[in-house]
Amino acid sequence: MTKHKVIGKQYISEMCFCCGQDNPGGLKAQFYDLEEGKTVAVFQPGETFQSYPQRLHGGVAASIIDEALGRAILPLEPDCWAVTAELTIRYKKPVPLDVPLKVVAEVTENSRRLFRSSGELILPDGQVAVTASGTYMKQSLTKIAELSDQELERIFIPQEKDQDFLEF
């Protein structure tokens, strides 16, 4: 496994399924930007997210990978919001519960209206359990949802960088 330098930590939202720290049914993932331009999600799913005994549900794996792939644009375009147009997932290994997991994502193509990204869900021993690629439409938040100023404050919750390096 290799150490990767963290240059920043991405914002969270209150109730997002993937990153919402106030969502009692959410993953509470944290997202980091790396020096090499990749985005990493760090999370530890418990039994609430189980499918078969001691295994992460494939739909939950798809959700966190989709979120990481969509957030991969933020180091390049910090004000960009991504809407999934297409997502392709390949499940390679069972994903255990109650262990720290990482999703590493990066932009592979970027144009004015769309971007493509790819990523992997990585197990604690460094093995790749799930791979994915996706196409995302760039949209302003005002086109995605009508939000008041108060609601916007609940979506953009800045996070202090708390890691210097991530290992995977």
Q: How many domains does the chain have?
A: 1
Does residue 53 fall inside a structural domain?
yes
Query: What pLDDT was estimated at residue 54?
Result: 96
Residue 80 inside a domain? The answer is yes
Report the pLDDT value the prediction gives residue 6, as an integer from 0 to 100.
97
| pLDDT of the residue at 79 | 86
Q: Is 159 contained in some domain?
A: no
What's this model's pTM, rounded to 2 decimal places? 0.93
pLDDT in tens, 65-104: 999 999 999 999 998 999 999 999 999 999 999 999 999 9
The answer to whether 30 and 9 are in contact (CB under 8 A) is: yes
Question: Is 166 contained in some domain?
Answer: no
- Report yes or no on 110 lying in a domain: yes
* CATH number of the domain encompassing residue 60: 3.10.129.10
Query: What pLDDT shows up at residue 156?
Result: 75
Q: What is the pLDDT of residue 130?
A: 98
In a domain, 164, yes or no: no
Position 168 in a domain: no
Domain that holds residue 124: 3-153
Residues of the chain predicted below pLDDT 50? none
